[in-house]
Amino acid sequence: MSNLTKNYLYNIVSLLTGVLFPFITFPYISRILMPEYLGKISFVQSLTNYFITLALLGIPAYGIRELSRAKVSQDKREFSKNFTELLVISLVMSIVSFLLFFSIIMISQKLNDVKELLYIYSFQVIFAFLNLDYFFIALEKHKRRTMRSVILRFISLALILILVKKPTDYIKYGFILVFPELLARIIDIYLCKDYIDLNIRKLNLKKHFKPLFTIFLYVFSVGIYVNLDATMLGIMKTETEVGLYTTGSKLVRMVIPIMSVLGTVMAPKIIGYIKNKDKDKIYDTMDKFMDFNIILGIPATFLMIYLSKDIILLISGDKFIDSNLTMKIISAIIIFLPVGTFFGGQLLLPNDKEKLVFKVAITGMIFNVIFNFILIPKFSIEGAAFATAFTEILICLYRGYEVKKIYPDYIFFSKERLNYMGLGLGAFLCIFLLKNMITENSLYNIIFFSSIYGVIYFGGLLLLKDKNITTILKKIKVKKESVL
């Protein structure tokens, strides 16, 4: 089994538990905490994320690129030196960000209602420098990341079921979301100790400042429009509306990591291909990612839109039914967000287009801020949902346009991808015509209509002898024959 396949499978295991964990916990938590207290958690998370972003200073994105380049060069000393320099910078920024965060908590009267939660989440800020996923991704140690994630999720699940019993237990819930993760991060830094160069005098921190600053501005501007919807809803509306919006958004975003996983696994390899200017391998990697996302993203998008009400009722309960339209609107990002992220992180940044990536992010942020200010007062959570969907689509298209400039002969809309779109729309129209068969049983509706859609969509791909489906079937056949 190739390293790419192994790493992909490790990430799939991590993703499956990552998807399964919310599906188990979210129905329980949403019914216990209700929109108001769930809204408090979401508001604090959105506010904290700004300061975590400041603390990280763009190091996760920059670190993958720089450490992957050092790995491709097989220079362990340079790898250790770069890693230590990034760790020191992140430590200093974590302290600075924590002091700013704590000052705002103490000064702002608006935050008094959630001050206890903010104190808990402040630990995420001060220990942000221990976010070392970029280290493990660059070294392609996906097994380590997977095992940590799986163990952490089981511990968190047990604690939630034991400790969170009533709405006022939202403080305990916040504690559970923060501290097991911090424990995992402490273990991470211990496992990285052999790559830390303690001879500080030889470290050259200055060389990282300019590219880091550019990437930070990009990451921070992205962080603004990613978290701005919940933050502005918390300020302009109520915590209940934040809870409703977060539910619709979270249910959609639970499927997005499945789309993004291949990009994460491929990141070190495509950075190496870009460094070596191996266009054939770059294009092959792009094809694999694009095909994978479109094949899965199209049915996921249409089914989320069609079954949004049943998904909300099944997972969160009727108290959250007002997030139905929000979920339909945000479903538009299922394909665009992972593809846009891949364009930015795995293609533009490795091509040293930091300023361009920042320019794109600033454009998205400006549009997001404008649309949120205009739409939230009038349309509340649906307005925030539209602002988010519009921003992600704009960002993806803008980045795609810039990628096309670098690789002008790459074909984005191949015949196969147009087939996926046509079959996806056709399958959607078929289940739409069967809407009179919708019942009061949400689980039945989800299983029945998903099955009908899947048969039409993937059956159509088989009839068209799609190369990706054919390749997968051949691999399955070969493995079966080897087992026999």
Q: Domain segments of the chain: what residues? A: 3-412
> What is the tens place of the pLDDT at every residue in 283-334?
888 888 888 888 889 999 999 999 999 999 888 888 889 899 999 999 999 9
The 10s digit of each residue's pLDDT in 136-154 is 777 777 666 677 777 887 8
pLDDT tens track for 421-450: 999 999 999 999 988 888 889 999 999 999
- Per-residue confidence at 21, pLDDT binned at 50, 70, 90? confident
Is pLDDT above 80 for 218?
Answer: no
CA-to-CA dists, residue 245 to 141, 250, 390, 480, angstroms:
36, 8, 16, 46
Tell me how far CA of residue 279 lies from CA of 131, 185, 272, 288, in angstroms: 32, 37, 11, 14
Give the pLDDT of residue 447.
93
CA–CA distance, 35 with 181 (Å, rounded to integer): 25
The pLDDT assigned to 319 comes to: 85
- CA 21 from chain centre, in angstroms, equals 15
- What are the structure tokens assigned to 254, written together? 């639970």
Q: Is the pLDDT of residue 19 over 90?
A: no
- Band of the pLDDT at 481, cuts 50, 70, 90? low
**More confident position, 28 or 68:** 28
Tell me what the mean pLDDT of segment 275-290 comes to.
Answer: 86
Of 163, 188, 166, the closest CA to residue 176 belongs to: 163
254 and 395 in contact (C-beta within 8 Å)?
no
pLDDT: is 194 or 177 the higher one? 177
- pLDDT, average across residues 230-243: 78
pLDDT at 275: 78
Please state, in angstroms and rounded to a whole number, the distance separating the CA atoms of residues 460 and 440. 30
Section 225-230 average pLDDT: 71
**Quick check: 268 pLDDT over 60?**
yes
Give the pLDDT score at 241.
Answer: 85
pLDDT at site 233: 81
Per-residue pLDDT for 265 more than 70?
A: no
Q: Which amino acid is at 220?
A: F
The encoded tokens of residue 132 equal 């070392």
User: Environment class of residue 141 by beta-carbon count within 10 Å: exposed (0-12), middle (13-18) or buried (19+)?
Assistant: middle
pLDDT tens, position by position, 355-382: 888 788 888 888 888 888 899 888 888 9
465 pLDDT more than 70: yes
Distance between CA atoms of residues 159 and 38, nearest Å: 17
Residue 451 has pLDDT above 90, yes or no: yes
Please give the mean pLDDT across all residues of the chain.
83
